[in-house]
Amino acid sequence: MRRILYSVVALLFALVGLALHARNHTPVTLDFYAGATELPLSLLLVIALVLGVALGALAMMPGRWRLARRLYRLERERRTLTSTPPPAKRSTEAVDGP
């Protein structure tokens, strides 16, 4: 069911992207300091979207790496704690002397 839902959402995004391209295919001049280039507006929007997603993913990576290291350390600690047998219980009753 989830796979079908993801497929429908992906298809909707593709259709919206095609509609965006069909309505915004006029060329736009992108002016750099070193020169200028002419691109379709829809391509420029897609490039901006991809760059935004990539920069967002890069900004999240340090936190994700820190959490992954912490998870690895806690899992290793849990394995060592569950692999060692528990200490033997001592009797708390008073021992009769001879």
Average pLDDT in the chain: 86
Report the predicted TM-score, pTM, of the whole model to 2 decimal places.
0.60
> For 2-14, how does the pLDDT look when each residue is reduced to its tens digit (9 = 90+)?
899 999 999 998 8
Task: Quickly list DSSP for 13-77.
Answer: HHHHHHHHHHH--SEEEEE-SS-EEEEEHHHHHHHHHHHHHHHHHHHHHHHHHHHHHHHHHHHHH
